[in-house]
Amino acid sequence: MSPTTTARPLTEASSDPAYLALADELEALVARLDPGDRLPSEHELTASHSVSRLTARASLQELEGRMLVRRVRGAGTFVARRIEYPVGPSMPPSASEMVRRAGGIPTSQIVSVQHRRPTAEVRDALGLGSDDRVVAITRTGQVDGLPASFGTSHLPADLASGITGYLDDGASIYRLLSDEFGLTPVRSWARAELVVVPRDVAPELGADGRPLVWRLESCNEDRSLGRPVELSQTWLRADVYRVRFELGEGE
Amino acid sequence: MSPTTTARPLTEASSDPAYLALADELEALVARLDPGDRLPSEHELTASHSVSRLTARASLQELEGRMLVRRVRGAGTFVARRIEYPVGPSMPPSASEMVRRAGGIPTSQIVSVQHRRPTAEVRDALGLGSDDRVVAITRTGQVDGLPASFGTSHLPADLASGITGYLDDGASIYRLLSDEFGLTPVRSWARAELVVVPRDVAPELGADGRPLVWRLESCNEDRSLGRPVELSQTWLRADVYRVRFELGEGE
DNA sequence: GAGTGGTCTAGACCACTAC
DNA sequence: TAGTGGTCTAGACCACTCC
């Protein structure tokens, strides 16, 4: 409205470029808001801070890079909900439990259930022979309705082919194995890594570009059977899950 | 030169925006080059692909986001050297060893060595009393001359205050403890997390903005002494180190 | 239909690196 | 000094979401 003349350093200190100063100002704002709250739009920031749209945009993208906000085309920029996800020697905490603990609402859907020949990688992990089959259960997960995870669990068909009858959206495979099949899976190994999301996985996670995501693989075995009963391979959005690794401490 | 009229999809397939198509084209180029090789400059891409500088720039920034290249103001855009850095229950591989294994040249300098009272966090980790002192050794590390790591090791002063005489740039604290002090440190616990680099650490890592970095903490103890002998807290550039977590497998 | 973020152009000035 | 990437402006059109 009023003729504010030139672009100056905003509130923040000294030599930062305008978009970083604005980003820091917005970061302080985010800290006062709740997950899901909307931030000012690019247009609003352009008007209120007398900067070009590109500068306003750069500041919001900076916050997206810091994983503090999530931007949705046509809708706006929203405070992100971050889920703590510890990975350690003890059994993995249920992902949906961690979401609820962070105040979020977890949902999930089954994408496909397939009876099929395993790949060599899956066959090795599950200790199967070349004629054995697996049940491959692929699911997507959301936090507060937004895509957050995507992955596949492989179960030896001879152990768990009857599982298809029990599956429904939101089912816990761990609980099915233990309640319906009398198995008590414990982790035999796990791996985790931060990678650029593959082209084909990106849309499953609602990702526009090629952001960084977590790749988690873990294998569970049943002690009494003495053999692996589940291999799970999962992608997690890094802006949703804060994966933290812990070794030792109280072993 | 000639009046190329409108912007069209470039070489790549279908519906990708121009900057992503160009990024994918450059990613293929990066795969054929060696670490340290220079990519075309923004200006060169502007001319060769008939796009605006902003579009050329966006494609190079996309590659930077994928951690495939490293951009240096005034110098150019270069293929990044990525260092595998496995973290698991076994003793940590020497960081400089992993750098050499990846074909890089590791260097390091001591920033400061301080005899001081530990913070509560350090005191707890090392199991010290309120009057005990520690030696805090802060170092920076480079890969091929570029900043890559920054961290501090805390040693109980009663065990290692004589270590100052042995320290020089490039020294391995593990080796000093074992060779000169008769200790055999083994990991008692470790933690790792991906975080936005704090303001004060960013310049130590040669970071312009506020990129994502690894935060590693680990505590080593001596079995025969039965007490902690080193707490190390380290920041690693995520575009240099590919941290990978491994639990179990061959325990 | 109004508002949002996603892409893109054609300029400009600057800080910095390398020579 | 020439070339690099870093920042910034003032426009424009588009795809998308929400009402």
pLDDT in tens, B183-213: 888 889 999 999 999 999 999 999 988 999 9
Chain-wide mean pLDDT for chain B?
88
The predicted-structure confidence for A200-241, as pLDDT tens digits, reads as follows 999 999 998 899 999 999 999 998 888 999 999 999 999 999
Phi first, then psi, for residue B178 (nearest 5°) are -80, -40
CA distances from residue A152 to A87, A164, B118 in whole angstroms, order as listed: 18, 14, 46
Reference B12, options B79, B69, B59; nearest CA is: B59
Helices (H) and strands (E) in chain A, counts: 7, 10
Give the residue carrying structure tokens 């179960």: A155
A248 contacts on B by Cβ (under 8 Å): 89, 187-190, 219
Least confident of A86-90, A226-230, B143-147, B218-222: A86-90
CA distances from B224 to B126, B134, B190, B221 (A): 16, 20, 20, 9
Q: Where in chain B is the domain with CATH 3.40.1410.10?
A: 83-245
Question: What token pair was written down for B7?
Answer: 């912007």
- Give yes or no for CB of A72 within 7 Å of strand C: yes
CA-based nearest residue to B26, from B60, B64, B77: B60
> What is the distance between the alpha carbons of residues A196 and A210, in angstroms, rounded to a whole number?
6
Tokens of A211: 């952001």
Query: Over 50: is that where the pLDDT of B7 sits?
Result: no
Question: β-pairing, A212-222 with B69-72?
Answer: unpaired
Query: What gap in Å lies between CA A218 and CA A58, rounded to an integer?
Result: 38
Cα–Cα dist A60/A23, whole Å? 7
Strands A227-237 and B76-79: unpaired
Mean pLDDT confidence for B225-241:
94
Which helix H or strand E contains B110, and what residues bound it?
A: strand B106-116
Q: How many residues does chain B have?
A: 251
- The structure tokens 């526009």 sit at A208
pLDDT at A49: 96
* Signed CA dihedral, A176, A177, A182, A184: sign only: negative
Q: How far is the C-alpha of B10 from the C-alpha of B52, rounded, in Å?
A: 13
Question: Which residue is closest to D7 in terms of CA–C1' distance?
Answer: A17
% pLDDT > 70, chain B: 92
- pLDDT confidence of residue A92: 67
How far, CA to CA in Å, does A76 sit from each of A39, A67, A69, A214?
A: 7, 15, 10, 25
Distance CA B82, CA B146 (A): 12
Cβ partners under 8 Å of residue B26, min gap 6: B39, B40, B59, B60, B63
Superfamily of domain A83-245: Chorismate lyase-like (3.40.1410.10)
Which listed CATH number (2.60.40.420, 1.10.10.10, 1.10.1040.10, 3.60.21.10) goes with A18-79?
Answer: 1.10.10.10
**Statement: the CB of A210 is under 7 Å from strand C:** no
CA distance linking residue A113 with residue A138, whole number of Å: 6
- Nucleic acid strand D within 7 Å of A19 CB: yes
Helix (H, G, I), strand (E, B) or coil at A182: coil
From A209, A211, A248, residue closest to B20, measured CB to CB: A209
pLDDT exceeds 80 at position B225: yes
Mean pLDDT calculated for residue range B12-33 = 88
**Chain A residues lying within 8 Å of B88, measured CB to CB:** 247
- A180 is written with which tokens? 């319906």
Other CB atoms within 10 Å distance of the CB of residue B8 = 9
Residue B2's pLDDT is what? 32
CA–C1' gap, A10 and C4, in angstroms: 25
Give the helix ranges, DSSP H, for chain B.
18-32, 42-49, 53-65, 95-101, 120-126, 157-160, 173-181
Place B6 in a pLDDT band, splitting at 50, 70 and 90. very low
- Residues 58-77 of chain B: which lie with beta carbon within 7 Å of strand D? 60-61, 71-77
Judge whether A152 and A112 are in contact, CB under 8 Å: no
What pLDDT score does A42 carry? 97
Length of chain A: 251
Residues of B in contact with A210 (CB under 8 A): 20, 62, 65-66
Six token digits for residue A107? 């949902």
Q: Which of A233, A238, A202 is nearest to A219 (CA)?
A: A233
pLDDT for B56 equals 98
Q: How far apart are CA A131 and CA A59, in angstroms?
A: 55
Question: Closest partner residue to A245 among B67, B192, B248, by Cβ?
Answer: B192
pLDDT of residue B172: 79
Task: Pick the closest to residue A241 from A146, A117, A162 (CA basis).
Answer: A146
What does DSSP assign to residue A138? E
The answer on pLDDT for B14 being more than 50 is no
What was the pLDDT predicted at B8?
35
Q: Where are the CATH 1.10.10.10 domain residues in chain B? A: 18-79
Distance B133 CA to C9 C1' (A): 62
Q: Rounded to an integer, what distance in angstroms lies between the CA atom of residue A23 and that of residue A36?
A: 18
- What DSSP string describes A223-245? TTTTEEEEEEEEEEETTTEEEEE
Q: Residue A77 pairs with which residues in a beta bridge? A: A71
pLDDT of B104 strictly over 60: yes
Burial B198-227 (b: 16+ CB within 10 A, else e): eeebbebbebeebbbbbbbbbbbbbeeeee
Spans of chain A below 50 pLDDT? 1-14, 251
Q: Which residues of B143-152 are buried (b: 16+ CB within 10 A; e: fewer)?
A: bbebbbbbbb
Query: Which residues from the 7-66 window of protein chain B have CB within 7 angstroms of nucleic acid chain D?
Result: 39, 41-44, 53-54, 57, 60-61
* pLDDT band, very low/low/confident/very high, at B217 (cuts 50, 70, 90): very high
* Cα distance between residue A42 and residue A19, in whole Å: 12
Give the pLDDT confidence of A102-114 residue by residue, as tens digits. Answer: 999 999 999 999 9
Residue A196 has what pLDDT?
95
In whole angstroms, what is the distance from residue A178 CA to residue A93 CA?
15
CB contact under 8 A, B244 and A190: no
How is residue A234 written in tokens? 């999962």
Residue from B20, B245, B246, B249 whose CB has the most chain A CBs within 10 Å, to mutate: B245
Cα gap B229→B127, rounded to integer Å: 9
